[in-house]
Amino acid sequence: SFEVRSPKSQPAVEAALRTLRDSSAGFADCRRRSEKDGKSPQGVLQVAVQLQAGGKASAKDESSTVAHERAVPCVERAFKRLKFEGAPAGQRVSVAITFSP
């Protein structure tokens, strides 16, 4: 699941959430990869996202409670492939991605 927050911009939250929902398959793949080696994929990844002009964004992992070390780089790669259509440039959003068992 995704939780997106921004204290300053509701349009940024809406654009980010829409983009994440449309791209959920990439994050589902990260969850699946986190299940390897007998580890539970359960956990939460906190990501800070800086929205930029043209739908681009930079994302930085802030924390992760997912046991497998593959989760963080996989989620970072997934964010690099996203295009945040209609997102206001210069806004920051905080994203919590929850992987369930």
What ranges in the chain are assigned the alpha helix state H? 10-22, 24-33, 71-80
Quote the pLDDT of residue 45.
98
**Which pLDDT band holds residue 56 (cuts at 50, 70, 90)?**
very high
Quote the pLDDT of residue 69.
93
Quote the pLDDT of residue 88.
96
Distance CA 49, CA 76 (A): 11
Q: Which two tokens stand for residue 59?
A: 């994302």
Q: What's the rounded mean pLDDT across residues 35-59? A: 94
Per-residue pLDDT at 30 exceeds 90: yes
Per-residue pLDDT at 101 exceeds 90: no
Is residue 16 within 8 A of residue 87, CB to CB? The reply is yes
Task: Output the pTM of the full model.
Answer: 0.91
Which DSSP category does 36 fall into? G
Order of strands, sheet of 43-51, starting from the edge strand that comes earlier in the sequence: 2-5, 92-99, 43-51, 57-64
Mean pLDDT (the chain, rounded): 95
Query: Burial, 92: exposed, middle or buried (Cβ in 10 Å; 0-12, 13-18, 19+)?
Result: middle
Q: Give the model confidence (pLDDT) of 6-15 as tens digits.
A: 999 999 999 9
Quote the pLDDT of residue 89.
95
Quote the pLDDT of residue 38.
87
